[in-house]
Amino acid sequence: MPVIYSIFKKEFKGIVFKPSFFFILFLCSLFFGVVFFNILDQYAKISSQMPNINGINFATGMIVPHLSSLNFVMMFVCPFFAIKLFSEEYKHNTFELLLTSPITSSQIVIGKFLAASAAGFVVLAVSAIYPVAGLWVAPLPIPHLLLSYVGICLVVMLYTAVSIFASSLTSSLIVSGILSIVFILSLWFVAIFRTSADGSISTVVDVLWINSHLQAFYKGGFSILDASIFLSYISLFVFMCQQVVESFRWR
């Protein structure tokens, strides 16, 4: 555990204490502010025109659209934080020194994974300012918001796991970035198989499709299945990354 913490601390500082991180954080804050203002404006117009419409409330009218935009942003922010963790080690020939130190491949991968995930959580913390500020407008269902952000945190960890796996495959930041986006989008576009699949395969696709589980968190619900699917995906990509790193010891 101390070894993992040391790696986490080193990598987290390497991500966060850089001008590029603050620039990304500024862009994200600007984007969240503009989007949330538009969502708030649309919600106010709908509420004033149709105050008694069924299914429209502060949670469904504002929180869910805000989290959807947040999910879109993190598809690109998480790879930005994570793709350099291994690719730069390969590029600067420091990875061999890391392997010769008395630490395991699992400790290396977990430490880097936690550091990149924590950097993503910083962005999530900034994004939470906007729905919390909505308390001045309408009562905010805090349990609903917390469960929704638990789902977003799991998504961030999944995108990070995918990105560090892509980073472990190549020394090129551009290639690892492209691979990260392709892998992440593949997790979303798996739903296209639902249209041509029969009933049994469609059920399997629904279970594997992360959007169906993320929507459960958006609605303020929670189940062991929803959380376990995310944790299974995260564990799979972290394990594959660990296997790639371990393979370097035998080259």
Predicted structure pTM score? 0.85
The pLDDT of residue 164 is: 93
Between 156 and 137, the higher pLDDT residue: 156
**Cα–Cα dist 240/238, whole Å:** 5
- Of 66, 64, 57, 55, nearest to 31 by C-alpha is 66
Is 70 exceeded by the pLDDT of residue 74? yes
Residues 6+ apart with CB under 8 A from 112: 7, 8, 11, 82, 85, 86, 164
Residue spans of the domains in the chain: they are 2-250
Between 83 and 60, the higher pLDDT residue: 83
CA-to-CA dists, residue 49 to 44, 56, 134, 138, angstroms: 9, 12, 20, 17
The pLDDT of residue 236 is: 92
The pLDDT of residue 215 is: 73
**Cα–Cα dist 209/186, whole Å:** 10
The pLDDT of residue 47 is: 61
Residues 6+ apart with CB under 8 A from 187: 158, 162, 210, 233
Q: What b/e sequence results for 48-75 when a residue is b if at least 16 CB atoms lie within 10 Å of its CB, and e otherwise?
A: eeeeeeeeebbbebbbbbbbebbbebbb
115-126: average pLDDT: 92
Q: What percentage of residues in the chain have a pLDDT greater than 90?
A: 16
Residue located via tokens 């555990």? 1
pLDDT, mean over the chain: 80
Identity of the residue numbered 157 = M
The pLDDT of residue 65 is: 78
Q: Residue 137 — pLDDT band, cuts 50, 70, 90?
A: low
Is 60 exceeded by the pLDDT of residue 81? yes
The pLDDT of residue 239 is: 93
* 194-251 tens-digit pLDDT: 555 455 556 666 666 777 777 777 776 677 877 888 899 899 999 999 998 888 777 6
Dihedral class, residue 77 (left if φ above 0, else alpha if ψ from -120 to 50, else beta): alpha
The pLDDT of residue 197 is: 46
The pLDDT of residue 128 is: 84
183-193: average pLDDT: 74
Is 80 exceeded by the pLDDT of residue 71? yes
Is 70 exceeded by the pLDDT of residue 60? no
Would you state the structure tokens that stand for residue 145, as one six-digit string? 């918001």
Q: Residue 115 — pLDDT band, cuts 50, 70, 90?
A: very high
For the CA atoms of 64, 66, 67, 68, what is the dihedral angle to 10 degrees? 80
Is 60 exceeded by the pLDDT of residue 55? no
The pLDDT of residue 140 is: 66
DSSP string, 205-229: HHHH-HHHHHHHHHTT---HHHHHH
